[in-house]
């Protein structure tokens, strides 16, 4: 049985604008071990977000293959990929991306309800308690601070017990102190759940706290090194 | 595996739709308002139409007072009398208009005398005050006089009324009699007298207009429709007619068709505007939701699930809107009987039937879904990548699905207009008209953008340049706004012009110095004496018109009786049965214009008699210049040729004739005269009428000043109905406008905030925004009004068959009004930008 949760092979992504072709990613190959903490770093425009989108099945590659949790993404249609995300993947976004019309609790339990989970509310309440928001469960996102919104997003990301969690600049919109609290919470929850964590970040200090760093520049891999994690 | 089919998954969809919808309820209000207004208009009109039909059907016998009637404009011929005798008439009457005098106060009034024999009516009620008068007037030999007339002339039972040579005691006030409308009785109020006194009044004379009616009660086993079918042609040849209670109620139903058509048209327009409102408000709503959809897809929701969440919301709002609209529609129809009271010869009993309500609710859901589909499709195709990217640049616009939706919308418009107008061709014309209007508006906005780009005034100031730039930059709203403002204005202006067409049909001008007293039925022997009564009072004779009544005997080579039997004949049947009132003169009058042939002033001896006919006669009788028409002038046959065809302006209350003979032909034929004069005030009118009635009791006097008052009252009632219905469309139009302009809000706010951040003053932002909305408002409403001129001309010609003279009101009121409204709504959008700090706005607007 393979220990790799994500296998990327010779990935390429190009966009066509009129007669011009723009290559955003090329010759990208790497694997991620189950249960590991992985980071992708690189300057703006290096292709980090595009790579995350492709890894999570949010977009189609122009060439190459992606195997996520044992499924080859090219073989899946839109809805099958959505189902795979629902069962195996969690997300944390820079802008939190909570549904503004749902309360904190309702936001957290959406992935569970999509799975038809009957005890969704109970699980959601436990998770919100873990992230310290038990007293804010019926608040709407607009009634929460940025840090609180990201904690709700953390609870939501872990609610479906994902095999792999993608975090896109999770502290990008938070001040340093709040950002640090969120990261500690993220690592703690990840440890408890044994989830594979992929973090995209500009923050090299944060990257150095992961077990492996993939450096991108101009759409190409500059390095892919293991670190001595300090989380 | 997708669990959409499982109960839990479906429950979750409902739960999500509710959770998301309840937090966005304020944004869905515009959407719901559009549905409510459109549905309310349709349901109220449909319910009322159903009630009207049911009432006419249920009260058909009561409306006529008998099962069937045989009537004739002359004493029945032997053949007709034999038919009447064989069927056994249960009652009969002769009716005519005549002057009545009231000895108590020397008042006079034109009345409709109904001299009755027998116990009419057999169905419905003869309502009188006192109630016993209905049963006793025949026995007592008195008159029942219209209740309003008694009030006007301060009369009461016990006073007397003089008709011709005879004075009758007034037995009671006549409150209602089957088959009479409030309007017809206000022109010539009804007076009922026993038939046995008619000769003594000496009011029936040769040539005077009268109608003999024979009322029948059919045995239950008799098929009266079959009887009418068999007897009709026979009676036609004898210038008599048979009417059954069912055919009368059908005709009565048809006579309200024009009002019905207009009401349906208003409902259709209100509904169409509502549909635009739905499309426009759902467009904004879904645009705001696309990010949520992308997040849901990231979390694992399928396309179908996300689509269904919002579809369920739309269906829910459509359902609630449909229910509320239907409830309002049900309430509104209670108002119609009061609005239409004067037009209907019976009381309307309002009943609530399920069909229009069910139809309203179904329609609410259907139109919501259909018109929301285009924006809803966005949820299907939105990529989860939007969450990472934050733009909708990659949003796929599915061509096939959009085309399919558009085709469904067009089909819906056609089917609905067909259903409302009950005419496939008119329905198709409306649909095509709407599509062409849409295409023209899209073309105009596209040309407008290109023209600004090409002739951009680079030397203008910053704010004016910026406002013009907004019109054609990427993500501009020019096309969308011009389409919705233009279409809304187009529909409202069309409705306004249609109202003009309908009102013009009945309009009269109360001009001074034109005749306002018409003396009818003046015999040749009385003419000089009548003139000698008028002139000494300082009044002048304005018209002195001889009238000869006749029927057509032969048209071209065929006898009229033969044409009647020929089912393939294209000659309109009214021509064959009509008693024409013709005149002779040597000059054309102001309301006439020769459109073919030559006007003949005087008949030349030895030459054929060249008559002039109106264009409608030429069309309905299939006559051309030179064709032969043989007339039967009270037993004498006269061969004539069509010498000219005239266009006659029938719109004014003026003595116009469809057939005019040249001088030198009819001078010795049996005839009566119409004299006209002008009286300056009520007192001289009363004085003249009193004198004339005393000396010449058989002459009928029509006081046009009274008619003007009645017509004005009728027009006011019609205008009220029309305005009442137009109100729906205008209100819906405003909602659409708010929706459309709000649509552009999101684009403009971010730009305004950026400009503010870069140091723009409030006045500059205000000016840029104001100018942009003024351009859009003016262009949209102008195109809408111009296009409505074309559509109104088509409606006037094809639907109402009336001339169309456009009013300037849409240009003077709608154009600036709508532009101002667009400007105000547009400026209200950037109020938050002007009042708050830029960062605050950016945070709020996301």
Q: Who among A59, A111, A168 is closest to B299 (CB)? A: A111
| Region label for A96, one of left (φ > 0), alpha (ψ between -120 and 50) or beta (otherwise) | left
Confidence tier at B721 by pLDDT (50, 70, 90): low
A4 phi/psi in degrees, rounded to 5: -90, 125
Mean pLDDT of the B384-396 span:
63
Residues B836 and B786 in one domain: yes
Query: What is the DSSP annotation of B755-786?
Result: HHHTT--HHHHHHHHHHHHHHHHHHHHHHHHH
Interface touch B2/A86, C-beta < 8 Å: no
Residues B726 and B628 in one domain: no
Which SS3 state, helix, strand or coil, does residue B473 take?
coil
Residues B415 and B266 in one domain: yes
Which of these three, B187, B217, B247, is where a domain ends? B217
| pLDDT 10s digits, B658-689 | 999 999 888 888 888 888 888 887 788 888 88
Q: Which of B88-97, B226-235, B550-559, B808-817 has the lowest mean pLDDT?
A: B226-235
Q: What is the pLDDT of residue A31?
A: 93
**Which residues from B are below 8 Å from A when comparing CB atoms?**
1-3, 6, 8-9, 12, 15-16, 19-24, 291-292, 295-305, 383-385, 387-390
**Res. B747: pLDDT tops 70:** no
Confidence tier at B323 by pLDDT (50, 70, 90): very high
Confidence tier at B714 by pLDDT (50, 70, 90): low
B157 secondary structure, DSSP code:
B
B434 within domain boundaries: no
| Strand runs labelled E in B442-587 | 517-523, 541-555, 558-559, 580-584
Confidence tier at B508 by pLDDT (50, 70, 90): very low
Residue B760's domain comprises 440-510+707-846
A140 phi/psi in degrees, rounded to 5: -85, 155
* Interface membership of A56 toward B (CB under 8 Å): yes
B687 within domain boundaries: no
For residue B640, what are the β-bridge partners?
B629
B222 within domain boundaries: no
A111 phi/psi in degrees, rounded to 5: -60, -35
For residue B648, what are the β-bridge partners?
B592
* Chain A stretch 68-127, residues whose beta carbon is closer than 8 A to a beta carbon of chain B: 78-79, 82-87, 89, 91, 93, 95, 97-102, 106, 110-111, 113-116, 118
| Pairwise CA distance, residues B291 & A70, whole Å | 29
How many domains does the structure of chain B reveal?
4
Which of these three, B186, B217, B248, is where a domain ends? B217
What own/partner pairs with CB < 8 Å and gap ≥ 24 does B408-416 have?
B408/B370, B408/B373, B409/B370, B409/B371, B410/B435, B412/B366, B412/B367, B412/B370, B413/B272, B416/B268, B416/B271
Residues B712 and B789 in one domain: yes
Best residue in B25, B289, B298 for a mutation probing chain A (most A CBs within 10 Å) = B298
Mean pLDDT of the B120-134 span:
86
Q: Which of A110-114, B532-536, B717-721 has the lowest mean pLDDT?
A: B717-721
Does residue A161 contact residue A89 with C-beta atoms inside 8 Å? no
> Measuring CA to CA, how many Å separate B770 from each of B469, B739, B761, B763?
13, 18, 14, 10
| Pairwise CA distance, residues B85 & B78, whole Å | 10
Domains observed in chain A? 35-57+85-226 (3.40.50.300)
| pLDDT 10s digits, B189-219 | 889 999 999 888 888 766 567 889 999 988 8
Average pLDDT over chain B, rounded to an integer? 81
B684 within domain boundaries: no
Q: How many CB pairs lie under 8 A apart between chains A and B?
A: 94
Q: What is the pLDDT of residue B340?
A: 63
**Highest-pLDDT range among B67-71, B503-507, B741-745, B830-834:** B67-71
| Pairwise CA distance, residues B321 & B696, whole Å | 66
Which of these three, B637, B655, B677, is where a domain ends? B677
Express as a percent the part of chain A with pLDDT over 90.
45
Residues 6+ positions from B404 with CB-CB distance below 8 Å: none
Interface touch A97/B389, C-beta < 8 Å: no
Residues B99 and B159 in one domain: yes
Tell which wins on pLDDT, A46 or B577. A46
Residues B631 and B505 in one domain: no
Residues B339 and B367 in one domain: yes
Q: What is the pLDDT of residue B526?
A: 86
* Interface membership of A225 toward B (CB under 8 Å): no
Residue found under tokens 């928001």: A133
Q: What is the pLDDT of residue B718?
A: 59
Residues B265 and B342 in one domain: yes
**Res. B182: pLDDT tops 70:** no
> ∠ at Cα B308 (B307, B309), nearest 5°?
95
CB burial of residue B814 (10 Å; 0-12, 13-18, 19+): buried
* Interface membership of A53 toward B (CB under 8 Å): yes
| pLDDT 10s digits, B338-373 | 766 655 655 667 777 788 788 889 988 988 898 888
B698 within domain boundaries: no
Q: What is the pLDDT of residue B511?
A: 45
> ∠ at Cα B214 (B213, B215), nearest 5°?
115
Express as a percent the part of chain B with pLDDT over 70.
83
B824 within domain boundaries: yes
B355 within domain boundaries: yes
| Region label for A116, one of left (φ > 0), alpha (ψ between -120 and 50) or beta (otherwise) | left
Q: Who among B8, B21, B292 is closest to A99 (CB)? A: B292
Q: How far is A145 from chain B (nearest CA, A)?
A: 12
Q: What is the pLDDT of residue B52?
A: 73
> Measuring CA to CA, how many Å separate B213 from each of A103, B84, B686?
79, 10, 33
Does residue B197 contact residue B141 with C-beta atoms inside 8 Å? yes
B121 within domain boundaries: yes
| Region label for B390, one of left (φ > 0), alpha (ψ between -120 and 50) or beta (otherwise) | left
Residues B560 and B585 in one domain: yes
Residues B35 and B97 in one domain: no
**Cα B714 to the center of its chain, rounded Å:** 13
Percent helix, percent strand, percent coil in chain A, to nearest 5: 40, 30, 30
**What sign has the CA pseudo-torsion B30, B32, B35, B41?**
negative
Residues 6+ positions from A133 with CB-CB distance below 8 Å: A104, A148, A151, A152, A155
Residues B453 and B573 in one domain: no
ipTM of the complex: 0.81
Q: Is the pTM of this model over 0.90?
A: no
Closest CA to B518 of B709, B706, B711: B706
> Measuring CA to CA, how many Å separate B696 from each of B109, B187, B302, B434, B466?
14, 21, 92, 61, 82
Residues B465 and B496 in one domain: yes
**Res. B384: pLDDT tops 90:** no
**Tokens encoding B47:** 């319910």
């Amino acid at each position: 049985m393979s220990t790799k949760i994500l296998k990327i092979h010779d990935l390429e992504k190009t966009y066509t604008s009129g007669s011009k072709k723009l290559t955003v990613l090329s010759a990208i190959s790497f694997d991620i071990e189950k249960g590991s903490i992985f980071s992708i770093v690189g300057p703006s425009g290096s292709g980090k977000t595009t790579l995350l989108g492709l890894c999570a099945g949010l977009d189609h590659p122009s060439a190459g293959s992606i195997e996520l949790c044992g499924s080859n993404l090219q073989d899946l249609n839109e809805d099958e990929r959505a189902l795979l995300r629902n069962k195996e993947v969690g997300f944390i976004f820079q802008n939190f991306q909570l549904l503004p019309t749902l309360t904190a609790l309702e936001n957290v339990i959406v992935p569970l309800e999509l799975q038809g989970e009957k005890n969704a509310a109970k699980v959601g309440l436990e998770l919100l308690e873990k992230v310290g928001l038990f007293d804010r469960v019926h608040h709407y996102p607009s009634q929460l601070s940025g840090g609180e919104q990201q904690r709700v997003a953390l609870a939501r990301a872990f609610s479906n017990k994902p095999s792999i969690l993608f975090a896109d600049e999770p502290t990008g919109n938070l001040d340093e102190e709040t950002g640090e609290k969120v990261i500690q919470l993220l690592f703690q929850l990840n440890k408890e759940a044994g989830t594979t964590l992929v973090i995209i970040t500009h923050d090299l200090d944060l990257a150095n706290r992961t077990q492996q760093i993939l450096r991108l520049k101009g759409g190409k891999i500059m390095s892919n090194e293991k670190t001595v994690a300090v989380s | 595996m997708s669990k959409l089919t499982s109960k839990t998954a479906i429950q979750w969809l409902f739960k999500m739709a509710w959770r998301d919808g309840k937090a966005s309820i304020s944004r869905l209000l515009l959407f719901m308002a559009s549905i409510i207004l459109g549905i309310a208009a349709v349901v109220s009109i449909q319910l009322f139409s159903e009630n009207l039909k049911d009432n006419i059907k249920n009260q058909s016998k009561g409306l006529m007072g008998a099962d069937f009637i045989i009537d004739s404009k002359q004493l029945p011929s032997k053949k007709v009398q034999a038919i009447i005798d064989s069927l056994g008439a249960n009652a009969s009457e002769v009716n005519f208009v005549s002057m009545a005098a009231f000895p108590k106060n020397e008042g006079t009034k034109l009345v409709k005398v109904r001299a009755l024999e027998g116990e009419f009516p057999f169905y419905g009620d003869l309502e009188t005050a006192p109630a016993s008068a209905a049963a006793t007037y025949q026995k007592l030999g008195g008159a029942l006089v219209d209740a309003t007339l008694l009030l006007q002339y301060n009369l009461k039972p016990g006073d007397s009324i003089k008709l011709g040579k005879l004075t009758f005691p007034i037995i009671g006030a006549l409150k209602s009699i089957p088959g009479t409308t409030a309007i017809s009785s206000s022109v010539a109020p009804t007076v009922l007298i026993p038939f046995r006194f008619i000769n003594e009044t000496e009011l029936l004379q040769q040539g005077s207009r009268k109608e003999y009616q024979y009322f029948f009660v059919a045995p239950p086993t008799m098929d009266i429709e079959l009887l009418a079918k068999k007897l009709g042609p026979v009676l036609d040849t004898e210038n008599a007619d048979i009417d059954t209670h069912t055919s009368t109620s059908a005709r009565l139903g048809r006579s309200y068709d024009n009002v019905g058509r207009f009401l349906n048209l208003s409902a259709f327009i209100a509904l169409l505007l509502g549909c635009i409102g739905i499309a426009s408000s759902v467009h904004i709503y879904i645009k705001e939701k696309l990010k949520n959809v992308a997040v849901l897809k990231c979390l694992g929701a399928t396309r179908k699930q996300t689509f269904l969440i919002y579809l369920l919301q739309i269906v829910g709002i459509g359902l609630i809107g449909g229910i509320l609209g239907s409830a309002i529609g049900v309430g509104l129809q209670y108002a119609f009987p009061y609005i239409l009271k004067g037009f209907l010869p019976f009381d309307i009993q309002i009943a609530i039937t399920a069909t229009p309500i069910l139809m309203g609710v179904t329609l609410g859901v259907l139109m919501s879904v259909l018109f929301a589909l285009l924006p809803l499709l966005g949820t299907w195709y939105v990529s989860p990548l939007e969450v990472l990217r934050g733009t909708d640049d990659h949003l796929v616009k599915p061509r096939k699905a959009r085309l399919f939706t558009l085709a469904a919308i067009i089909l819906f418009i056609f089917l609905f207009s067909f259903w409302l107008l009950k005419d496939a061709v008119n329905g198709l014309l409306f649909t095509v008209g709407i599509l062409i209007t849409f295409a023209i508006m899209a073309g105009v906005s596209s040309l407008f953008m290109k023209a600004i780009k090409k002739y951009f005034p680079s030397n203008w100031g910053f704010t004016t340049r910026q406002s013009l730039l907004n019109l054609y930059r990427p993500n501009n709203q020019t096309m969308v706004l011009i389409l919705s403002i233009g279409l809304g204005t187009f529909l409202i202006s069309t409705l306004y012009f249609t109202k003009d067409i309908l009102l013009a049909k009945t309009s009269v001008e109360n001009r001074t110095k034109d005749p306002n007293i018409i003396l009818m039925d003046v015999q040749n022997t009385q003419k000089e004496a009548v003139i000698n009564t008028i002139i000494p009072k300082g009044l002048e004779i304005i018209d002195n018109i001889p009238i000869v009544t006749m029927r057509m005997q032969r048209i071209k080579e065929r006898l009229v009786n033969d044409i009647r039997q020929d089912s393939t004949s294209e000659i309109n049947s009214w021509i064959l049965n009509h008693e024409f009132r013709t005149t002779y003169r040597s000059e054309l009058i102001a309301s006439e214009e020769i459109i073919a042939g030559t006007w003949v002033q005087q008949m030349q001896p030895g030459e054929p008699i060249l008559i002039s006919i109106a264009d409608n006669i030429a069309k309905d009788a299939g006559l051309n210049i030179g064709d032969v028409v043989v007339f039967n002038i009270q037993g004498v046959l006269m061969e004539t040729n069509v010498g000219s065809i005239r266009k006659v302006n029938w719109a004014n209350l003026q003595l116009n004739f469809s057939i005019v003979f040249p001088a030198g032909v009819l001078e010795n034929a049996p005839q009566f005269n119409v004299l006209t004069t002008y009286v300056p005030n009520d007192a001289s009118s009363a004085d003249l009428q009193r004198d004339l009635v005393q000396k010449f009791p058989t002459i009928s006097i029509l006081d046009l000043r009274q008619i003007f008052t009645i017509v004005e009252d009728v027009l006011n009632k019609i205008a009220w109905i029309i305005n009442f219905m137009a109100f729906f469309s205008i209100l819906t139009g405003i909602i659409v406008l708010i929706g459309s302009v709000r649509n552009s809000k999101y684009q403009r706010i971010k730009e305004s905030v950026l400009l503010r951040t870069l140091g723009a003053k409030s006045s500059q932002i205000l000016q840029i925004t104001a100018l942009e909305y003024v351009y859009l408002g003016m262009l949209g409403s102008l195109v809408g009004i111009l296009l409505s001129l074309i559509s109104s001309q088509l409606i006037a010609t094809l639907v109402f068959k009336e001339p169309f003279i456009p009013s300037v009101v849409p240009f003077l009121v709608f154009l600036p009004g709508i532009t101002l409204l667009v400007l105000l709504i547009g400026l209200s959008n950037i109020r938050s930008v002007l009042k708050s700090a830029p960062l605050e706005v950016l945070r709020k607007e996301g």
